Amino acid sequence: MARSIFLAIIVSLFAILWPAKNIAAQSQTITVYPQRGRIGDTFSVTGRGFQSFATVNVQFVGKWRSVPADYYGEFRTSFIVPPTESGVYEVMAVSDGSTTFSIFEVLPPGIAIYPQLFMAGDRLNIWVWGAMPYDTARVYLGNNEITPSPSPMIGADGSAGIQTMVPSLNPGYYLLIVKGIRFEANLVVFLIPAPPGKIESIISPIKDKVVRIWGYYAGTWYVYDPSVPSELNSLREFIPGSGYFVLVKEDCDLAAVGDRVYKLYKGWNLIGW
């Protein structure tokens, strides 16, 4: 009697486990998470429905992993996104003559800036990540190249910090582009108008060295002379996009809006605001 019960249990176990294994083997799937990322990011690959204890060969852009499935036909592995161009790539799992596919999207490089709003003459800090390592980067604001010298290089981790100066351009939206031979990153940015600068406050640090400043607008000359009462001066503000003749007694520096500094030499100097 005991022997019959034992045999019945064994038969029941085979009936439960063996068919389940075969059914699982007929529905192989792999799941990628996350489904997109940049160079240097890590993503996992999870498989189900494979033969118990089978060896599964997983491939992504030429990189292979040999992973053993467990008793339930499941496995888990991960990849670090290698240097490769942006696009959609297959993730492939091969086992016992069958192949299962999923996809992973390699995103273009990321880009961030500081300050978020800037004006002509400001110093602009740019960060790039997920780019091709060891590539040389060039920087453009609209159609204007603003690459610093020497040209920055992307690091081994696919990132770089770049500092450059904003040229004199009209306010508005521009496409900021950082690109190399094998990558390109872009960001829409806004160039804000520079506020008019009150001449008296701007030249106050060097007022004793300034003799006269001339500006020309709409067919008329305007003058600022620090030796006369302010109400008698016709020139009272520095207007962005305009030029000025500045007469100084000795060499000095004139700090402007943002990070700009004008080197003035004894005598007349022509500057663009």
- Has residue 163 got a pLDDT over 60? yes
24 pLDDT above the threshold of 50: no
Mean pLDDT along residues 112-134: 90
22 versus 213: the higher-pLDDT residue is 213
Of residues 69 and 17, more confidence is placed in 69
State what percent of residues in the chain have pLDDT above 70.
Answer: 88
Q: How far apart are CA 119 and CA 140, in angstroms?
A: 15
Kindly report, residue by residue over 249-268, the tens digit of the pLDDT. Answer: 999 999 876 567 899 999 99
3 or 188, higher pLDDT: 188
Closest-CA residue to 80 (of 45, 30, 127): 45
In the prediction, which pLDDT does 218 show? Answer: 73
CB–CB of 34/43 below 8 Å? Answer: yes
- pLDDT tens profile 212-256: 999 987 788 999 999 988 888 888 888 777 889 999 999 999 987
Average pLDDT over residues 180-197: 84
For 26-47, give one letter per residue: b (16+ CB within 10 A) or e: eebebebeeeebbbbbebebeb
Q: At 232, give phi and psi (nearest 5°).
A: -90, -10
User: Nearest CA to 49 among 24, 31, 71, 12?
Assistant: 24
In terms of Cα–Cα distance, which of 137, 135, 141, 45 is closest to 95?
Answer: 45
Residues 244/270, Cβ–Cβ less than 8 Å: yes
- In this model, does residue 194 exceed pLDDT 80? no
Pairing assessment for the beta strands 220-224 and 42-48 based on DSSP bridges: unpaired
* Per-residue confidence (pLDDT) for residue 229, from 0 to 100: 85
pLDDT for 195: 64
Instruction: Locate the domains of the chain by residue range.
Output: 21-106, 110-191, 197-272
pLDDT, the chain, mean: 87
**Could you tell me which CATH class the domain 110-191 is placed in?**
mainly beta
- Please give the pLDDT value at position 7: 53
| Helical segments of 26-95, H only | none
21-106 matches 110-191 in fold: yes
Question: Chain centroid to CA 261: how far?
Answer: 29
Residues 112-119 have a mean pLDDT of 86
Token digits of residue 138 = 């060039």
Confidence label for 47 from pLDDT (cuts 50, 70 and 90):
very high
Percentage of the chain modeled with pLDDT above 90: 64
Residue 31 has pLDDT above 70, yes or no: yes
The alpha-carbon radius of gyration of the chain (Å, integer) is 34
Secondary structure class of 272 (helix, strand, coil): strand
User: Rounded to two decimals, what is the model's pTM?
Assistant: 0.61
CATH number corresponding to 21-106? 2.60.40.10
pLDDT band at residue 165 using 50, 70 and 90 as cut-offs? very high
Mean pLDDT of 194-204: 77
More confident: 187 or 195: 187
